[in-house]
Every structure is written in C-alpha cells, then in structure tokens.
Amino acid sequence: MPRIPEETIQQVLAATDIVDLVGRSVKLRRMGSTFSGLCPFHNEKSPSFYVYPSNASYHCFGCGAGGTAIRFLMEHDGMGFVEAVKRLGDAAGIRIEEEVWDAQAEESAKVRAALLRVHKEVTEWYHLLLTRHACGDAARAYLKSRGMNSDLAKRWQLGYAPPSGDALREWAADHDISEGLLIDSGIMAAGDPESDRPGTYPRFRHRLMFPIRNDNGEVIAFSGRLLEANAKAAKYLNSSETPLFTKSRVLFGFDRSKRPISKAGQALIVEGQIDMITVFEAGFENVVASQGTAFTELHAKLLKRHADEVLLCFDSDNAGFKAAEKAFQILAPTGLNVKVAAIPAGEDPDSLIRKQGKEAFSSLLGKAADFIDFQIEASGSRRNLTEMRERVRFAEEMAVNVRLFESPVAREASIQRVAVRLNLPEETFRRQVIRGMTSGNKAGSSIKTNASSGHQLLVSQDKTATLLCRLVLSSAEVAQWLRASGKESLLQDLPGTELLSLVWHSKFDPAEPSSVSAFLSSLEPVEENAFAEMLAQSAPPGGLEEAAHALEAMETSRLQTQISRAQTQLKQPGLSPEAEGKIHQQIIAWRKEYLDRRKRS
C-alpha cells in the first residue's frame, strides 16, 4: 500500500500548531503551559479536554480521547489517515508524496475519485430537473404538499430522477461519463438477459431524490421517494452498496447534525429523510434518519462518539414499536441512554410539525420515556397482565432488554421499575435478569470506543513497564540508553509490556514533539490513545537513574516468571528424567540470580 514517509509526517506535524487546529473547533483557555476546553468528542459541562503544545498532543480525561493533530482530524472530521496528513500538509504548504506505488491502491483511489465525481454531477443534474424542468412538475407538487419550498430543496440539494433512461444516457454522454461507471456507482443497473428488461436501466425512475452524504458532506449515494401513489415498487429505494457507500455505516443527515448532536449530547432518530429534514428545519438540528434500514453496531458507535443519549421518534404502530425495540437492543449495550417519544397514532414527526407546529413536537420530546417504561406501556396495553402467567411471560421479555444495559446502576434502576410496574417481587425479577447474564448468551456485545479501549490497554500494562515508557517519552537520554541496552529479550517473557515494546523498537526523538507525534500517528488508534493518556501526565522524576532501577526490577520480575513457568512444566505428565533434571538445574540457576539481584537492590 502507498505510505507517506515518516520524515514527511514529522515535517507536517512540526509545522502544525495543534492549539490553533483544535482551537478552530474547541474554545480553549490557557492554563499555564497547557490549554483546556469542553471535549468535542463527548458531552460535558466542565472542561476535561487538554491540549499540550509541548508534545503536540491532546487528551480528554473524561472520555479518554487523545492523540496527535492527525488523529484529531481523523476523529473530529471523519477523515482517513492519508487525507488528514494531506489536509495538514496543504495548510502548511508541504507537498505530500506517497513513498511506495501500489497499482491496486492507485486504482482504488482513482475509482473512488471517479465515483465521487459521478455522484456530485448527477446530484446537480437531478436538482436542475427538479427546479427548472417541466419533467419535475410531479416532484415539485409533492414537495409543496409536504410544505417544502424551493429554498429548502436548494439547501438540501433535492432532485428528480426522470422515468426514462434515455435522458440519463444523453446527460452522461455530454459529461463524458461511461455507462460502466454509472453501473459501478449504482445509478444504473444491469438488466437480466432472461427477463423483459435486458441491457441497462436507471435504478431510480420518476422519484424524488435525496442525496446521501458522508461525514465530510460528499454525496456517496441516493435515496429515491416514489411519486406514483398506486405503484407496486418500494416507496423508498436506496442506492446499492458501492466502494463509497455501505448502508450499515451511514445515517442520513449526519454530516449536518454531528455538531449539534455533540453540543446537545443527544441524538434524535427518525425513520425517513423527509422527517429528518422537517425536524432539522424546525430547529431541532441534532437529528438523523435511519433510512428505513435496521440499526447496526456501527451506527451506534458513530452516535456514541457524539452523544450520551438517543431519543427515538418512530411511528406508534406495531412496526414502529418493533423498530424501536431493535434499535434499543443495538444502542443500549454501548452505554447510550435510550428514550422514546410517543408519536400520536397516524402521525409522524413531519406531519406533526406541519399540523401542530414545532412547539407540539418540542412538548412531545419533553415527555419522552425511558425505553423500558415505553416497552411496558406499549406492550402491556395489549396484554392481559392481570394473569400471573402472562405477567411472568412478559417479565422474561423485559428481562432480555434489561440485561443489555452496560451500566449496573441503570440495570438496577430498571429492575426496580419493572418489578413495581408488573407487581412482581423485586428479587424474583432480579434473579430472572441475572440468570441470563452469562458472557455467552448476553444479547448484544458492548462496543468499545478507541478511547475506552486505549485506557483499558494502558491499565493492563505492567506498572514498571509503563513507568519506563513515560521516562522514555520525557527523556532523549533514557530513550537512547534503553535502545542500546540489548535487553529486548525480556519483553518476550513479561506480560503487559506491549506498549514498552513499541517505544523500545521505535526511533523517535523525545526531545522533538513532532517526532513523538509522528510515532503516535503510526500506531493503531487504541495504542495512540493509550500513549496520549501517558503524555497527559506529568513527566516522572529520576531520569536515567530511575530508568535503570525500573529495568532492573523488570529483569527481576522476568526471573520470577521464568521460575513459575518452569515449575508448571515439572507438573506435566510424561516428562523424562533427563528433561526434568534440566528444568531443575535451570530453576536453581534462576533462583540464584534472583537472590543475587535482591541482595544488590
């Protein structure tokens, strides 16, 4: 794969003022040699987010997010690594050249660029047909019936796909876009030679078109709304999956709403594009749409990065209840608090706002119930809960969802509420919940963010190894001494030294912040977060002398580990007398070395 040279990355990071970069998105306040502000990656009222100019890094003590300027762009703006480096390089006037040419990667990049171009230009064409051509009359009439004017259509770049493929082919020919590229983009589809539709045809025909965008606002797919009331085709049709578009990763409108969601700490979730646009235009900008597809763990992970709570605004019919329950089962294990706003029967967010105004919708949001309470009301009203047998059966259904809560506090509160509402002994229902909470059958798996996983990785490390890591990060003298010590072999025998191994085998210069940043940017996100947390701590005292003591302590620990492993080997059945004798001799030698070290210390 193409790779940006480490020297270039270091040059880019050295030329980037991380305080200036972060300060464009976060209001920072100087605190001595550091800067602090409200974390852009989770909702908080008191600042726990710090930027450290001295080592060109950032770290949040609240959610654990951290890293370099490159990581900030990747996490905050949804960029890939190369894209983030190029963005910083452009700002600094540094030309980025990838070191290794890879034919496959080069071709993939060309395909992606071509697909983005097609989507951009066809979006403009669809929009032109909607706003200026007679063929778009039906689509304009539909928008008018939904209270949507031309200004709104322009803001969201809505469009119209004509019923015939001839118009699309003619437009593509004028814009030098091949039919093969239209097929690859999902805008056209290949027909079945055995059917009455051979050749190719437009995937979207006589539909109101909604561009679907990635986090950066680039059009990557479409959703088309059918305009014929009596047609047998699906009311909404989404693009097929392409190298640009994977529906399990994309939420409609997220490119516009991610900042409001982060600010509010809450995401409103509606079912369709029109609902999303209407709610957003009414001033509730922290809203996304699920596009009629099932929620996935990737959707949940995306929302968890920006919010602590989601509020489901689904229809009140049986399909809406099932959709809400499925969404809860994906969202709850992430630690998100899930609420449900009970939309009146026969209405959706769009119709409610148009008929009763945004105040009515705001009032409905204010009355939103926790999902467990909503489930009791929605399901309980359709069941005869006066019978104990039915209550017990319903309690088991409730227990399945109560088990999903990541927080023990939330789980316990839900147990108490369900027991009271169903008139069951609290301890009985608690046992019912606990009975199913084994690692093998707990529904849903908790999604770990890079930040929390980074903290867990750091906690899992050997404390002495972590101290040695911090000493290396703060002293070029210690780094040079450790790398020249020739004692890397102890890393193979000691658990919890993964981060120390990365430092030991690296070449960065701790005295150069850009060199440290370049090292961090070469790591996996979880590792980068762990090191960012280290850098956020004060440098440990002691320097080279303390490092020598730490390494000595680790060598002593290795001897203890080796002795323990050898003693385990002696218990293995079928061990020959010769092998047993060698192990005993090795244990004696290791014990002697261990005692000698203890005497010297």
> Where residue 536 sits, what CATH number does that domain have?
1.10.860
514 occurs within a structural domain: yes
- In angstroms, the CA 539 to CA 467 distance is 10
Residue with more model confidence, 494 or 572: 494
8-state DSSP, 191: P
Query: In this model, does residue 423 exceed pLDDT 60?
Result: yes
CA separation, residue 485 to residues 491, 547, 575 (Å): 13, 12, 37
Same domain, 51 and 120: no
Strand partners, 211: 222
- In angstroms, the CA 26 to CA 211 distance is 29
- Beta carbons within 8 Å of 393's beta carbon, 6+ residues apart: none
390 occurs within a structural domain: no
Residue 220, Ramachandran bin (φ over 0: left; ψ between -120 and 50: alpha; else beta):
alpha
Give the model's pLDDT for residue 459: 80
Residue with more model confidence, 475 or 437: 475
Lay out the sheet containing 287-289: strands in order across.
287-289, 266-270, 309-312, 337-340, 369-370
Phi–psi pair at 224, nearest 5 degrees: -110, 130
Residue labelled with tokens 């409905």: 364
578 occurs within a structural domain: yes
Residue with more model confidence, 560 or 28: 28
418 occurs within a structural domain: no
Q: What domain count does the chain have? A: 4
36 occurs within a structural domain: yes
Q: Of the candidates 48, 63, 92, which is a domain's last residue?
A: 92
8-state DSSP, 442: -
Per residue in 146-184, pLDDT (tens digit) is 889 999 999 999 999 998 888 999 999 999 999 889 999
Same domain, 298 and 363: yes
370 occurs within a structural domain: yes
- Provide the pLDDT confidence category of residue 194 given band limits of 50, 70 and 90: very low
Strand partners, 267: 310
Find the CATH number of the domain harbouring 38.
Answer: 3.90.580.10
For residue 489, how many other CB atoms are within 10 A of its CB?
A: 8
Per residue in 478-524, pLDDT (tens digit) is 999 999 988 888 887 676 788 998 999 898 999 888 889 889 988 88
Same domain, 108 and 158: yes
Q: Of the candidates 246, 272, 289, which is a domain's last residue?
A: 246
Same domain, 318 and 216: no
Structure tokens at 468: 């040695």
Q: What is the mean pLDDT of residues 340-367?
A: 91
> Which candidate, 464, 451, 479, places its Cα nearest to that of 536?
451
Comparing 11-25, 232-246, 347-361, the range with the smallest average pLDDT is: 232-246
Find the CATH number of the domain harbouring 128.
Answer: 3.90.980.10
54 occurs within a structural domain: yes
443 occurs within a structural domain: no
Same domain, 115 and 210: yes
Strand 309-312 versus strand 287-289 pairing type: unpaired
Same domain, 542 and 581: yes
Q: What is the share, in percent, of the chain residues with pLDDT greater than 90? A: 33
> Which candidate, 587, 514, 543, places its Cα nearest to that of 15?
514
3-state secondary structure of 548: helix
Same domain, 241 and 278: no
Q: What is the mean pLDDT of residues 458-467?
A: 86
Provide the domain limits for residue 553.
Answer: 450-600
Query: In this model, does residue 99 exceed pLDDT 60?
Result: no
Same domain, 48 and 112: no
Same domain, 459 and 596: yes
Q: Of the candidates 229, 246, 263, which is a domain's last residue?
A: 246
- Cβ(260)–Cβ(285) below 8 Å: yes
3-state secondary structure of 589: helix
Same domain, 29 and 112: no
pLDDT, mean over the chain: 84
8-state DSSP, 190: E
Find the CATH number of the domain harbouring 335.
Answer: 3.40.1360.10
Phi–psi pair at 517, nearest 5 degrees: -65, -40
- In angstroms, the CA 524 to CA 454 distance is 10
Comparing 149-153, 259-263, 385-389, the range with the smallest average pLDDT is: 385-389
The enclosing H or E element of 566 equals helix 543-570
- In angstroms, the CA 74 to CA 358 distance is 35
Q: What is the share, in percent, of the chain residues with pLDDT greater than 70? A: 88
Query: In this model, does residue 315 exceed pLDDT 60?
Result: yes
- Cβ(455)–Cβ(65) below 8 Å: no
Give the model's pLDDT for residue 448: 38
Same domain, 185 and 229: yes
Same domain, 79 and 148: no
Fill in the amino acid letter for 412.
E
- Beta carbons within 8 Å of 404's beta carbon, 6+ residues apart: 328, 329, 332, 333, 442, 443, 444
